[in-house]
Amino acid sequence: MTSNTRRRFMSTVVILISRISLSRKMRWLRGLQLSILGSLECSTQPIGAPNVPETRRPHHGDFPMKAWTIRGDAASPELVLGESPRPEAGPKELLVRVRAIGVNRADLARRTGHYEQLQRLSDAPIPGLELAGEVAAVGANVTGWRVGDRVMGLPPAAYAAFARLPADMAIRVPSSLSWEQAAALPMAYLTAHNALVTEGRFARGDHLLVHGVSSGVGLATVQIARLLGAGVIAGTASPQKHAALAPYGVDVPLAHGDAQAAERIGIATGQHGVDVIVDMAGASAAQLSQQAAGLRARWVQVGRLGGAKADIDLDLLARKRLSLIGVTFRTRSVEEIAALVQAAAHDLTEAWGSGQLSMPIAKVFPFEQADAAQAFMRQNAHVGKIVIEGCPD
C-alpha cells in the first residue's frame, strides 16, 4: 500500500469513527481517532521508534508535532525548530496538515514583536500566516468541508506540521495547482484584491500606479488590474527587476527615486494621471504618489517599507480631491476578514485555476530551512513569493 493510499484509507476511517462516536457517545472511539491522526502527522519520533499504543486515550498535546517557534526577545529573536503540541480544530475551524507555507513580511515583523495585533498563542509563538494543505479534521460546527480536501488560507501559526484555520477564511485549492503554487496565493491576492477592488474601487480603463510592484502583493495587484481591464500600469521597483515585470503587464517600470517618474506617468496616461495608487512603500514614495495622482484618485496605503511618516501637501490633496485610504488586516474583526476572504475567493478562484492569475515563486526552501527563508526575504532581492515546504512525512 502506497503512502497516499494509506493516508486516504486512514482518513476515511477517521471520518467513520467521528460519526459513530458523535452518534453513540462512545468516547473511547475518540481516543482511537486521535491515535490514527497522530500516525498521519509529521512525526517527531526517530525512525524505528515504537508507535503509540491504540489503547491509549490521547488528549491535546499527547502527539507532539514539528514546529518552528520564536524564542528570545525583540532585540535578539531567533527561530527554533522543535516540538509543539499538535492543535485541535475548534468548533468553527479546520485542522490542516500543512503541505506548504508562504513567507511574508509580517512573519519578520512578528518575529520582532511589531505585528502587535496578532494574538500571542503561547510564550513561544509559532509564526506563519499563509499555508496550503489537506484538511485533517473538521470542527463540529463546520459544513462544506471534509477530511482530505485541499485548502489554502491565512492561519495564525503556519510554520508547523499542523495548523488551525478558521473555516470562514479557508479557500479551496484548484486541482491544477501544486502545494507550493497554492501557498503563494492567499496573502498576496487577498491583500491586493482588498486594496485595488474594495478600497480602490478600480474600474475598467483606470490607470494604476503600484509602489513595490515586484513584491507578491504588487504582482497580484497588476494581474488583477489587467484582468479587470486596466489602462496604463506603472510600477516602482529596483532597476535590476524591471525585465522580470514585463510579462505581468507593467507598462511603465520606474526606479525608486526616479526624478522623471511623474513626467513619464503623465506622458503615458495622456496627462490624465493615475486613478488608483496601491502603495507598499510609504514615505519614500509619497511625493510621487501626490504628483502622479489624477483628479479624484484613490491612494491606498498598504505598506511602509520606505518609512511611516511623510509630508502631505493638503492643498494639492484638496485640489485633486485625492482620497488617501489606509488598509490593514491587523485591526479588522474576524468577521470582516472572513468577508474579504470570501469576496476575493469568489472573484479570483476561477482565474487561479485557469492560470490567468499566477504568482512567480522566487525560491522554495525545505521545512528545516525556515530561518534561511526569512533571511532570503530580508535581502529584498527576489521577485514574487518565497515558499517553505511542509514538514515531510
> Taking the domains of the chain in order of start, what are their residue ranges?
3-185+336-389, 189-326
CATH architecture, domain 189-326: 3-Layer(aba) Sandwich (3.40)
Pick 19 or 252 by higher pLDDT: 252
- Range with top average pLDDT, 37-41, 46-50, 245-249, 371-375: 371-375
Half-sphere exposure of 309 (CA within 13 A, CB side): 0
pLDDT at 14 > cutoff 50: no
**pLDDT at residue 56, as a whole number:** 30
pLDDT mean over 248-271: 96
- Range with top average pLDDT, 114-123, 327-336, 352-361: 352-361
Tens digit of each residue's pLDDT (9 = 90 or more) over 172-197: 999 999 999 999 999 999 999 999 99
**pLDDT at residue 135, as a whole number:** 98
Which of 51-60, 152-161, 301-310 bottoms out in mean pLDDT, i.e. has the lowest?
A: 51-60
Tens digit of each residue's pLDDT (9 = 90 or more) over 124-155: 589 999 999 999 999 999 999 999 999 999 99
Sign of CA dihedral 116, 118, 122, 128: negative
Pick 329 or 282 by higher pLDDT: 282
pLDDT at 60 > cutoff 90: no
pLDDT level of residue 39 (50, 70, 90 thresholds): very low
**pLDDT at residue 53, as a whole number:** 35
Report the top-level CATH class of 3-185+336-389. alpha beta
pLDDT mean over 1-21: 49
pLDDT at 84 > cutoff 90: yes
Cβ-contact 135, 151 below 8 angstroms:
yes
Pick 245 or 300 by higher pLDDT: 300
Sequence-distant (6+) residues with CB within 8 A of 269 are: 207, 231, 232, 294
pLDDT level of residue 75 (50, 70, 90 thresholds): confident
**pLDDT at residue 169, as a whole number:** 94
Average pLDDT of every residue of the chain: 86
Sequence-distant (6+) residues with CB within 8 A of 18 are: 33
Tens digit of each residue's pLDDT (9 = 90 or more) over 309-346: 999 999 999 999 999 999 998 888 889 999 999 999 99
pLDDT level of residue 77 (50, 70, 90 thresholds): confident
**pLDDT at residue 18, as a whole number:** 45
Sign of CA dihedral 202, 206, 211, 214: positive
pLDDT at 24 > cutoff 50: no
Give helix 186-193 / helix 334-354 axis angle, nearest 10°: 110
pTM attached to this predicted model: 0.81
Q: What is the CA radius of gyration of the chain?
A: 23
Transcribe 227-240 into DSSP letters: HTT-S-EEEE--GG
Cα separation of 348 and 346, whole Å? 6
**pLDDT at residue 72, as a whole number:** 79
**pLDDT at residue 113, as a whole number:** 57
pLDDT mean over 58-75: 75
Amino acid at 344: A
Which of 75-84, 164-173, 248-257 bottoms out in mean pLDDT, i.e. has the lowest?
A: 75-84
**pLDDT at residue 109, as a whole number:** 79
**pLDDT at residue 73, as a whole number:** 74
Strand 361-365 and strand 385-389: the pairing is parallel
**pLDDT at residue 272, as a whole number:** 98
